[in-house]
Structure 1
Amino acid sequence: MLKINNLHVYYGGIHALKGVSVSVNPGEIVTIIGSNGAGKSTLLNTISGFIKPKEGEIIYKGEKLIQNPYRVVKKGICQVPEGRLVFVNLTVRDNLMLGAYLRKDKKGILEDLEKVYSIFPRLKEREKQIGGTLSGGEQQMLAMGRGLMSNPEIILLDEPSLGLAPMIVQRIFDIILDIKEMGKTILLVEQNAYKALSIADRAYVLEQGKIVLQGEAKEIASNSKIQEAYLGKKSI
């Protein structure tokens, strides 16, 4: 469904991504794990069209993806950014409706709004509340709901658990599985490697701009080097 081939990305003189290749199949949760500065968010921002690669290509459903954020969303790819980035002066409902700004199907938009409220009942309760007054966990739910309102086929999730309490983190990961059950495909960037690997089908390990390991998520999680580096377990 999504294939990234030999991607090279630079920030000025910094070589941020060095020949990265990743594939995502329909209905999968694929996670990218790695430390801060490994290039995880850069990869998602490049797919979304915010960053232009120097080399490589991104293929979506057999066609080369044009690196333009507007066109990327219109094709069915949406990104839920790191740090939530909700519209702090708008209500919860207005934030959600902005997620559907490219859509013309009014009936479908209202149906999806109800679906979002069914997944995130807290948002329904706070429908008229200003986005900036929500808790961190509620803002993360709002950002994810806003992404779903674009009716995407693939959702790019960038650090959804960042800065959240453990109880809320568990809820967010349960919701990611609920979104998968809706038939959505998910590319997940997450620093909480343990939680990401526990729900993912496949995983890639990104270090200093390079993919150093890939495979089934369970296999990656049982790798002694990965356990020591990312899961807080010492290899024997």
Structure 2
Amino acid sequence: MLKVNNLNVHYGGIHALRGVSIDVQQGEIVTIIGSNGAGKSSLLNAISGMVKYQGDVLYEERPLPKQAHKVVKSGVCQVPEGRIIFANLTVHENLKMGAYLRNDTKGINEDFEKVYNLFPRLKEREKQIAGTLSGGEQQMLAMGRGLMSNPNLIMLDEPSLGLAPLLINTIFEIIVEIKQMGKTLLLVEQNAFKALSVADKAYVLEQGVITASGSAKELLADSTIQEAYLGKKNK
């Protein structure tokens, strides 16, 4: 579904991504793990058309447009780090904003129902001003808003950031449910254990370079990965 070849991103003199290549098959959850500043968000932002890059990004074997709105129209959406909801709009209005490129009223109404079934708490708060929601509820809203664009590929940037442990479990359960809805997910996440627990495949990104890849189970069992990202020391 998605193939990234030899991706390079520069911010002035900083070479943030250096020859990054990944691929995502339809129906998979693929996770990118790595420490702060490794380039994980830069990768998603490049795919989304939010930052300039050199290299190739192919979606369903065709070059993905480099303009953000055209990327969304192609069937790819990103749920950004930090949620970035519309704080002064209601929950329902935020979700409606996710469908701004669509004009299929019947499909939009069906997707409202799907999002409210996936996130019952949002249904309870649909008339509430989004800025008054808890952090976990705002993360649910950001994910729901992304789903309202009816994407085939949804990219999640640090969905568990700043959330209480109980809510982190809920968010990852919902990620699995989104996969079961037939969506493909590319997940950037600092909580490596949780990310690898739900993913099919994983890449390790360090200082802008992919240093390891494989099935999520393989990386979970790798002693080097355990020591670096899972808090387990080698014996």
For 1:59 and 1:110, locate their aligned partners in 2 and report how far apart those are by CA, in whole Å.
31
Q: 1:15-164 alignment to 2 at 5 Å? A: 15-53=15-53, 55-164=54-163
Unmatched 5+ residue regions in structure 1?
Answer: none
Q: Structure 1 residue runs of 4+, over 6 Å off?
A: none
1:200 CA displacement: 0.1
1:235 CA displacement: 1.1
For 1:61 and 1:119, locate their aligned partners in 2 and report how far apart those are by CA, in whole Å.
27
1:66 CA displacement: 1.4
Unmatched 5+ residue regions in structure 2?
Answer: none
For 1:97 and 1:200, locate their aligned partners in 2 and report how far apart those are by CA, in whole Å.
29
SS of the residue 2:84 aligns to:
coil
For 1:159 and 1:70, locate their aligned partners in 2 and report how far apart those are by CA, in whole Å.
22
SS of the residue 2:126 aligns to:
coil
1:14 CA displacement: 0.2
- What TM-score do you get using the length of structure 2 for normalisation? 1.00
Q: Residue type matched to 1:71 in 2?
A: K
RMSD over equivalenced CA pairs, Å: 0.4
For 1:62 and 1:78, locate their aligned partners in 2 and report how far apart those are by CA, in whole Å.
17
- What TM-score do you get using the length of structure 1 for normalisation? 0.99
For 1:65 and 1:105, locate their aligned partners in 2 and report how far apart those are by CA, in whole Å.
23
Q: Cα deviation per residue 1:67-107 (whole Å; 9 max; x = unaligned)?
A: 10010000000000000000000000000000000001001
For 2:70 and 2:25, locate their aligned partners in 1 and report how far apart those are by CA, in whole Å.
21
Q: Residue type matched to 1:177 in 2?
A: V
For 2:102 and 2:62, locate their aligned partners in 1 and report how far apart those are by CA, in whole Å.
22
For 1:66 and 1:29, locate their aligned partners in 2 and report how far apart those are by CA, in whole Å.
23
1:163 CA displacement: 0.1
| Residues paired across the two proteins, number | 235
SS of the residue 1:204 aligns to:
strand
For 1:96 and 1:135, locate their aligned partners in 2 and report how far apart those are by CA, in whole Å.
17
Q: Residue type matched to 2:17 in 1?
A: L
Q: Residue type matched to 2:88 in 1?
A: N
1:46 CA displacement: 0.2
The equivalent of 1:223 in structure 2 is: 222
Identity over aligned pairs, percent: 70
The equivalent of 1:185 in structure 2 is: 184
For 1:66 and 1:109, locate their aligned partners in 2 and report how far apart those are by CA, in whole Å.
24
